[in-house]
Structure 1
């Protein structure tokens, strides 16, 4: 399954259509299901992010699609750990706004 993940930090950002824009882009990119959090990227306790990682580890998803790398986390170490976890699970990470194209 191709899973999309979106995140905004505040309810105000969600209300400003930032979340809707991310979700629309994930759908356009082919995400079959989308999970999202309205919570800081600095927190490790994001419910739906943790669910996405659990789905990756269990082999349910084949691809995780995000709009930007900072949707995973605001910390470089946490981002690295997440990418490593996805790689170990055989999950492709697609970043729509990747500078690497």
Structure 2
């Protein structure tokens, strides 16, 4: 089989629309500048950079690497690839073993030299520390809000926060019911997103819906919302 050049993209749940497009455009422009033709893009949606265990496309890509079917991997930032130093170093060893060229656009590092490998490991440690510090600060905020009986998670679609309390948003609840009905009828995520955009509905961030947004909304069931954080 042909050996492939791959663009790898990872996006968090609340950035799925624009982030996929922007990362793909950056990788495409970079690859053209380098004279590399991208054969495929591997995209992980709504997945943390903390570890690679749950990243379906990442794992699929690494299997292709091990089978000798990948020659180049390009990603926009090292933090998109991994925010865990141990996972990063393990993946670097696999890429080196199979002679895969690993290009990181933002940090301008590659594995083609000992110095490049050194910088990758240093940056990986920095991103891991950054993630851990953010996690600690988030836990402190959540703990404080729990103690005060307030909503302590990002307000999900279909709800709004009022005085720190979670209440239903009537319009968004109607949209959610419509999405579920369309999906039950067999409509694809893409066709549902197009329907929502035609009817001028927007995401929580006021942006157009994408098929990834629709998938995420359906995946997030109401039972997962921590209503215990709402008084009354």
2: CA distance between counterparts of 1:72 and 1:82?
Answer: 10
TM-score (ref. length: structure 1): 0.89
- Residue among 3, 8, 14 paired with 2:6: 3
Structure 2 counterpart of 1:35, from 38, 42, 47: 42
Q: What RMSD in Å do the two structures reach over aligned CA positions?
A: 1.5
Residue 42 of structure 1 deviates from its aligned partner by 1.5
Provide the residue aligned with 1:14 in structure 2: 16
Aligned partners of 1:86 and 1:92 also within 8 Å: yes
- What's the offset of the Cα at 1:45? 1.7
Instruction: Please state which structure has a larger fraction of its residues in helix.
Output: 2
Residues 56 and 89 of structure 1 are in contact (CA less than 8 Å); yes or no, is this contact kept in structure 2?
yes
Sort the Cα spacing of 1:40 and 1:90 in 2 relative to 1 into closer, same or farther, 3 A.
same
Q: Mind listing any 5+ residue stretches in structure 2 that lack a counterpart?
A: 32-36, 111-232
Match status 1:93 vs 2:102 = yes
The structure where strand makes up a greater share of residues is 1
Q: Deviations over 1:13-69 (max 9, x none)?
A: 112x01210011222214221011011111322000001111111111101111111
Unmatched segments (≥5 aa) in structure 1: none
1:63 paired with 2:72, answer yes
Q: Does 1:52 align with 2:98?
A: no
Contact 1:72–1:82 (8 Å) recurs in 2: no
> What SS class does the counterpart of residue 10 from structure 2 fall into?
strand
Which of structures 1 and 2 has the bigger CA Rg? 2
TM-score (norm 2): 0.41
Q: Which runs of 4+ in 1 moved over 3 A?
A: none
1:75 aligns with 2:78: no
Distance in 2 separating the partners of 1:59 and 1:100: 22
